[in-house]
Amino acid sequence: MKKLVAILSILQCTCYFVPVLLEKGTAGSKKQETGTIYTHHQKTVIVDADAGNYQRKIIAFVGGLDLCKGRYDTPQHPIFKTLQNVHKDDYHQPNYTGPTTGCPREPWHDLHSRIEGPAAYDVLTNFEERWLKASKPHGIKKLKTSYDDALLRIERMPEILGISDAPSVSGDDPNGWHVQIFRSIDSNSVKGFPKDPKEATMKNLVCGKNVLIDMSIHTAYVKAIRAAQHFIYIENQYFIGSSFNWSQHKDIGANNLIPMEIALKIAEKIRARERFAAYIVLPMWPEGNPTGAATQRILYWQNKTMQMMYETIYKALEEVGLEDAYSPQDYLNFYCLGNREAGNVGGTESPGTANTPQAFSRKNRRFMIYVHSKGMVVDDEYVILGSANINQRSLEGTRDTEIAMGAYQPHHTWARKQSRPYGQIFGYRMSLWAEHLGVVEDCFTQPESLECVRRVRSMGEFNWKQFAADEVTEMRGHLLKYPVEVDRKGKVKNLPGCPNFPDVGGNIIGSFVAIQENLTI
Work out the pLDDT band at 346, boundaries 50, 70, 90.
very low
Buried b (16+ CB within 10 A) or exposed e, 258-297: bbbbbbbbbbebbeeeebbbbbbbbbbbbbebbbbeebbb
31 part of the active site: no
122, 214, 330, 379: which is the annotated catalytic residue?
Answer: 379
144 part of the active site: no
31, 40, 48, 223: which is the annotated catalytic residue?
Answer: 48
Label the pairing between strands 366-368 and 370-371.
unpaired
φ/ψ of residue 390, rounded to 5: -95, 80
Q: What is the mean pLDDT of the chain?
A: 91
374 part of the active site: yes
Helix 258-271 and helix 293-319: axis angle, to 10°? 20
- Mean predicted confidence (pLDDT) in 77-101: 96
Question: What per-residue confidence (pLDDT) applies to 33?
Answer: 56
> Sign of torsion, CA 504 87 369 39?
positive
Question: What per-residue confidence (pLDDT) applies to 31?
Answer: 55
pTM: 0.93
Work out the pLDDT band at 3, boundaries 50, 70, 90.
low
| Residue 90 CB-density burial (10 A; 0-12 exposed, 13-18 middle, 19+ buried) | middle
48 part of the active site: yes
The pLDDT tens digits for 265-318 are: 999 999 999 999 999 999 999 999 999 999 999 999 999 999 999 999 999 999
| 3-class secondary structure per residue, 368-394 | ECEECCEEEEECCCEEEEECCCECHHH
Work out the pLDDT band at 502, boundaries 50, 70, 90.
very high
87, 109, 218, 372: which is the annotated catalytic residue?
Answer: 372
Cβ–Cβ contacts within 10 Å for residue 319, how many?
A: 12
Asked if residue 138 has pLDDT above 80, the reply is no
Asked if residue 103 has pLDDT above 80, the reply is yes
Question: What per-residue confidence (pLDDT) applies to 140?
Answer: 54
φ/ψ of residue 341, rounded to 5: -130, 125
Tell which residue, 227, 390, 223, has the closest CA to residue 309: 390
Question: What per-residue confidence (pLDDT) applies to 172?
Answer: 87
Work out the pLDDT band at 16, boundaries 50, 70, 90.
low
Buried b (16+ CB within 10 A) or exposed e, 468-491: beeeeeebebbbbbbbbebeeebe
Least confident interval from 36-40, 75-79, 83-87, 403-407: 36-40
Domains in the chain, please, with CATH?
70-113+212-520 (3.30.870.10)
The pLDDT tens digits for 143-199 are: 555 555 678 889 899 999 999 888 888 888 999 999 999 999 999 999 999 988 889
Stronger pLDDT, 432 or 22, i.e. the higher one: 432
- Mean predicted confidence (pLDDT) in 352-376: 93
Question: What per-residue confidence (pLDDT) applies to 34?
Answer: 58
- Mean predicted confidence (pLDDT) in 232-245: 98
Asked if residue 40 has pLDDT above 60, the reply is yes
Question: What per-residue confidence (pLDDT) applies to 197?
Answer: 85
Asked if residue 348 has pLDDT above 80, the reply is no
